[in-house]
Amino acid sequence: MRIDEGEAISLARSANRVVVARGQKFVDYDMKKEAPDDAVLAKGIVGPSGNLRAPTLKVGKTLIVGFHQDVYTEVLGS
């Protein structure tokens, strides 16, 4: 299923926490306290195709975009 930039931003805005992982690094946004603007958010969660990057998981009110083992372990458990 493809999710375009507008839908991706809406999905991220509906979360309390958005974690964007790229390679060995990740950025953890608290969407209630210090949410980034749409341009910054889109840069992290939208790929070159203009759609939401994969893999993406929504676990409760946490949205994880990309893969980082430590983040998956923390959110999903061991």
* Mean per-residue pLDDT, 30-50: 96
* Mean per-residue pLDDT, 38-55: 97
Give domain limits for the chain. 5-76
* Mean per-residue pLDDT, 1-6: 94
* Mean per-residue pLDDT, 50-66: 97
Whether 28 has a pLDDT exceeding 80, the answer reads yes
Closest CA to 54 of 71, 43, 67: 67
Tell me what the pLDDT averaged over the chain comes to.
96
